[in-house]
Amino acid sequence: MTDSNLKIPYLSIIIPVYNERNNLIPLEDKLDRELKKLNLSYEIIFIDDGSNDGSLHLIESMQKHNPLIRFIQFGHNHGQSAAFAAGFKAARGNIFVTLDADLQNNPADIPLLLEKIKDYDVVCGWRHKRNDPWIKRVSSKIGNAVRNRLSEEEIADTGCSLKAFRRECFDNVKLFKGMHRFFPTLMKMEGFRVTQVKVSHHPRLHGESKYNIRNRLFSSFHDLLAIRWMKKRKINYDIIKED
Ligand code: UDP
Ligand code: MG
């Protein structure tokens, strides 16, 4: 291990990867360029979520010339929430920034999040101009509206992976499958201050989306009911005196 491996960085960039081979080199290029401008210490953690397209091999070769890269390899595909959970556990920074590996999120937007996190605990990216097929745009609009209604929330775009968190946000939160779509609500339940900021969004140039209406609708609706239940049944009490 070199010295730079041992230093505690300010920022941990956490990126789940599932079959993103052709996106990884341009992503690293862009991240490298943008992060160097910030003049902050950082680490980049790739979580390979059971890829079978050689993504991990590429990550390992990127790590050889960039010691700020770390990785976790899953034996199977465990899903995006599991990948985030493993990334948060391994992360050493004070601030965690999450983003997708497919360059649909733009690393150039990271400073917008860092600026806002000075006054908040969680900053959620809001893809106000989505660059996805219309079916995805419409289903996501409906999904966000239903989610906000049933969970009594006001988050415009909870599906945007580009988010920043103070590390304490995850101290007491237990994550479950599918929960990555509800991070803002989970954090608010813990008393953290959550805000959102408009970010850019780009079409996917390489590889395929891992989600479609079929594999998202039913499971995320169940997850929504679970969150709604958790929110309603959260234990609150006020102590007047204690001896
Ligand atoms: N991803 C993952 N495990 C999965 C599904 C997705 O790690 O089981 C990663 C994927 O590689 C990408 C991010 O999560 O970096 C978002 O996935 P995708 O781009 O397919 O979602 P979309 O943008 O189409 O909603
Ligand atoms: Mg994507």
Residues 6+ away with beta carbon under 8 Å from 195? 116, 119, 120, 122, 123, 124
Which of 102, 141, 179 is the pocket-test mutation for ligand 1 (most atoms within 8 Å of CB)? Answer: 102
Query: Which residues line the pocket of ligand 1, CB cutoff 6 A?
Result: 16-18, 20, 49, 77, 79-80, 83, 100-102, 104, 209-211
Q: Are the beta carbons of 11 and 40 closer than 8 angstroms?
A: yes
Q: Does domain 3-233 have CATH number 3.90.550.10?
A: yes
- Please give the pLDDT value at position 1: 43
Residues 6+ away with beta carbon under 8 Å from 219? 177, 178
Residue whose pair of structure tokens reads 């479609």 in the numeric block: 212
- Please give the pLDDT value at position 22: 97
Which of 18, 78, 220 is the pocket-test mutation for ligand 1 (most atoms within 8 Å of CB)? Answer: 18
Q: Which residues pair with residue 11 across a beta bridge? A: 42, 95
Instruction: Read off the pLDDT of residues 155-208 as tens digits, 9 standing for 90 and up.
Output: 999 999 999 999 999 999 999 999 999 999 999 999 999 999 999 999 999 999
Instruction: Read off the pLDDT of residues 22-51 as tens digits, 9 standing for 90 and up.
Output: 999 999 999 999 999 999 999 999 999 999
- Please give the pLDDT value at position 6: 59
pTM, two decimals, is 0.94
Q: At what angle do helices 134-150 and 213-232 cross, to 10 degrees?
A: 10
Ligand 2: distance of its center to the CA of 153 in Å?
Answer: 24
Helix (H) or strand (E) holding 17: strand 11-17
Domain ranges of the chain: 3-233
Residues 6+ away with beta carbon under 8 Å from 58? 21, 24, 25
Take residue 44 and report the two structure tokens written for it: 């980049």
